[in-house]
Chains A and B, each alone.
Chain A
Amino acid sequence: MNITSQRVKLAKFQSTIALLLLCIFLSILSDKFLTVDNGWNVLRQISVNICISVGMTLVVLTAGIDLSVGSILAFSGAVAAGLLKSGISFPENDLFIGFTLLGTILAGVATGSFLGFFNGWVITKFKVPPFVATLAMLTVARGFTMLWTKGYPISSLGTNFAYIGTGWFLGIPILVWIAVVVVIAAMIISNKTALGRYIYAIGGNENAAKLSGINIDKVKIIVYTLAGALAAIGGIMVTSRLDSAQPNAGMSYELDAIAAVVIGGTSLSGGRGTIIGTVLGAIIIGVLNNGLVLLDVSPFWQQVVKGMVILLAVMIDKANSKAE
């Protein structure tokens, strides 16, 4: 076995190795890091970013980008919360007509899916670059959120709704369950289905994919719709966890998602990357956020450190892909 093939092998596990090193480093510096409670904390905190990042990975694999996920998250969460609080009451008959919990959640996810679909439609039918189309959606969906909430949080959503964000099922937080289901579904789509193969093919070489008969527009629209739906699921999760839909929820979440995708080794030029890599990327960011607070690092330095980690990850990735 020569050195180059060893390096390629190593590159495959680079995120895992980085995560392990980070964990070892943090456990040495703080005896509070490697505890069960803290583990659940980190997993709960990253569950939302995992959902968004998985959608982002699919988009980035087609050589696109979705900057609107944070705003879609806020709007979908606000729609669900708003519908949960609204309804018509008939006091004389002791009757109240409103949305059920499931109804509000579906409405929230439908909202996000539609906005995602709209992104895909604009990108494919009008050839608007994804960066521009989703940048516009970032602003529009944030504006919708402000209009819908009038700028005030929608709070006190009831214990049933809050259960999603705070409850446990079979010893695991519901939020983590949701993330696990999303990740497994996305892994099946990307590895086992025709859609998955098309996504990689489009990102690898769009012209070749077109010539081989793939309906590029359809695949892209599906991918952006999925990204919107996953952002909406993230919105339901955040809203439920806080028992409140905040008008400024999800601010700059798109950047966290892109960071997770990039740290996970997915190429921003498309065609190369994995869902599991993104999950590791999201865990690295979550562990870093948690560790920096545990060590009581000043908030000024935290920003510097996070930026450096992203840069380092991409630099190593580039060096490895050259070796490949």
Chain B
Amino acid sequence: MKKLILALVLFASLTSCKKSDKAEEPKKIAIVVSTLNNPWFVFLAETAAKKAKELGYESKIFDSQNNTALESDHFENAISSGYDAILFNPTDAAGSVANATKAKAAGIPVFCMDREINSTDAATSQILSDSYSACVQLGKLFVDTLGKKGNYVELLGIVSDNNTWNRSKGFHSSVDNYPGLKMVAQQSADFDRNKAMEVMESILQAHPDIDGVFCGNDAMAMGAYQALVAANKADKVKVFGFDGAEDAINSIKEGKLTATAMQFPKIIAETAATYADEYFKGKKDFPKKLPIAVEVVTKENIDKYIAYGKK
């Protein structure tokens, strides 16, 4: 019993010690990111962490592994361990609202990055990359490149991911206006390079005569391109990707891929970190939604870009 009391006293003294120190400690920022299994999100999270450090804050990255329940655990941990702000890349537009609301109730500001949540007041601000309208633009370029007629293939990302459908719907809102363009196959390749190559190899057996491929991300575009090379069709078929990843930028430079959509994860992440900084310094009035424009990258303007951003 004595030992227990001693231990409790020791514990209490330690915890109170920590609390009194807290005022001098730098503020802590939690970066909760939907997944780290995709280089794009790794870049987003690391850039946010780097910017937070530059601004003089401690930060920690939490990986939700595309799982809204795990994300909820991260929020609870971040709230209870005294984080002062959350830079948030949500897993799900609807499912993540509750998590952001929880943080808000605890008095912690949430800044959404890249992906939106379906709530106007749960997050302090949402810095968003508009996949839908980017794919509308990309779709227009697709129509022009193929001369308004021909057969094409669409490779979707993970079919349970809402980004997959935002991109697909944006693309089709442009392309479906042209009856000369016929989609001969629409398959999922899970945003994965290997799966895209395999699926494309099979599609090429069924539909050897295609003119274009639209892919929901750059990894799939690279995989599809490799399948086309193996089938000696790479010169004839135009491949479109999405993201602005390093491999895709290099491939556009070399004339292998036709186009991709450049999102600006660096700008998104740095803006979110800067907003958190401003919030700590007293600013409370932020735009509810700040759209970050997405730009179409082709061989013509490739010199302006590097992986995940502008030179």
Contacts and interface: CB of A to CB of B under 8 A. Distances in A.
Interface of A: 30, 32-33, 35, 37-38, 41, 44-45, 146, 150-153, 155-156, 166, 238, 241-244, 246-249, 251, 289-290, 293-296, 299-300
A246 B201 contact: no
Interface string B221-236: 0110010001000000
B36 A146 contact: yes
Interface residues of B, number: 32
27 contacts: A32-B206, A38-B205, A41-B201, A41-B202, A45-B201, A151-B36, A152-B39, A152-B42, A153-B39, A153-B193, A155-B246, A166-B230, A241-B226, A242-B194, A244-B222, A246-B192, A247-B37, A247-B39, A248-B37, A248-B38, A251-B37, A290-B205, A293-B199, A293-B203, A293-B206, A294-B206, A296-B186
B193 A45 contact: no
Given A247-B37, A300-B159, A242 B246 contact: no
Contacts of A238: 194
Q: Top 5 A-B pairs ranked by shortest CB distance? A: A151-B42, A299-B188, A293-B202, A248-B37, A38-B205
Contacts of B222: 242, 244
Contacts of B151: none
A299 B192 contact: no
A290 B159 CA distance: 19
B219 interface: yes
Interface in B141-194: 156, 159, 184-188, 192-194
Contacts of A32: 205-206
B67 to A, nearest CB: 14
Contacts of A300: 159
Contacts of B193: 153, 242, 244, 246
B42 A37 contact: no
Given A242-B226, A251-B192, A293-B203, A152 B198 contact: no
B202 A290 contact: yes
Interface string B191-215: 0111001110111011000000000
Contacts of B39: 151-153, 247
A293 B201 CA distance: 10
B303 interface: no
Contact of B42 (A38, A150, A243, A295): A150
Nearest to B39: A152
A64 to B, nearest CB: 27
A235 to B, nearest CB: 11
Given A153-B39, A247-B37, A299 B187 contact: yes
Contacts of A241: 194, 197, 226
B185 A242 contact: no
Nearest to A297: B187
Nearest to B188: A299
B36 A246 contact: no
A249 B193 CA distance: 9
A153 B230 CA distance: 21
A226 B199 CA distance: 30
Contacts of A156: 250
Given A153-B39, A246-B219, A299-B159, A289 B192 contact: no
Contacts of B223: 242
Contact of A152 (B184, B187, B246): B246
Contacts of B194: 238, 241-242, 246, 249
Contacts of B278: none
A297 to B, nearest CB: 9
A150 B156 CA distance: 26
B121 interface: no
Contact of B247 (A41, A150, A244, A293): A244
A277 B296 CA distance: 50
Contacts of A37: 205
Contact of A153 (B186, B198, B201, B247): B247
Nearest to B200: A293
Nearest to A41: B201
A45 B156 contact: no
Given A246-B193, A293-B203, A296-B184, 5 more contacts: A37-B205, A45-B198, A153-B247, A155-B246, A295-B206
Nearest to A303: B159
A151 B36 CA distance: 7
Nearest to B36: A151
Contacts of A299: 156, 159, 187-188
